[in-house]
Amino acid sequence: MVYAFVIMPNHIHMIWQIQDGYKQAHVQQRLMKFTAQQFKFKLADSNDPHLASFRVGAKDREYQFWERNALSIDLWTPDVFTQKLDYIHNNPLQDKWKLSEYPEDYKYSSAGFYHTGHDGFGLLTHYMG
């Protein structure tokens, strides 16, 4: 389940719950691989010159879109959960980004879902059930 997310210019934050029977590392790896492939396909199909900036000299890959060691934090208490939820929804408002005046106005975020109750992405679950 995806409870919250924000897509920033150079990173993403997400609060999600892995279904029983699946390993977090495996699900995270699959997500990163799938999204990286989609980025590569979109950039290549449109002949976008930015594709070259993701080229790496690695033996096991031609391009790299994600950091190798993505940070994961377990959210064990309701207080920690809501603190992280507020942090990611307010991330676009930080002085270094200034992407939106209000969290719910930033298009690439779940903040609007929590503000209006409407899931325009079709993938969100409210953390309160």
Mean pLDDT calculated for residue range 15-35? 92
Print the domain residue range for 49. Answer: 2-116
Q: Is residue 27 domain-resident? A: yes
Q: Please report the pLDDT score of residue 13 as a whole number.
A: 96
Tell me how far apart the alpha carbons of residues 90 and 83 are, in angstroms, rounded to a whole number: 11
How far is the C-alpha of 79 from the C-alpha of 64, rounded, in Å? Answer: 35
Q: What is the overall mean pLDDT for the chain? A: 94
Residue 127 lies in a domain: no
- Rounded to 5°, the CA angle 98-85-115 comes to 75
Q: What is the pLDDT of residue 25?
A: 87
Predicted confidence at residue 82, as pLDDT, reads: 97
Residue 125 lies in a domain: no
Q: Is the pLDDT of residue 15 over 90?
A: yes
Does residue 126 sit within a domain? no
pLDDT tens column, 63-120? 999 987 778 889 999 999 999 999 999 999 999 999 999 999 999 999 999 999 999 9
DSSP string of 72-123, one letter each residue: -----SHHHHHHHHHHHHHGGGSTTT---SSGGG-TTBSHHHHHHS--TTS-
For residue 42, pLDDT over 90 is answered with: yes
pLDDT at 87: 97
Compute φ and ψ for 105, nearest 5 degrees.
-90, -15
Q: Is residue 95 part of a domain?
A: yes
Residue 124 in any domain: the answer is no
Predicted model pTM: 0.86
Residue 40 lies in a domain: yes
- The CA distances from residue 124 to 24, 49, 82, 101, in Å, are 18, 33, 16, 23
Report yes or no on 128 lying in a domain: no
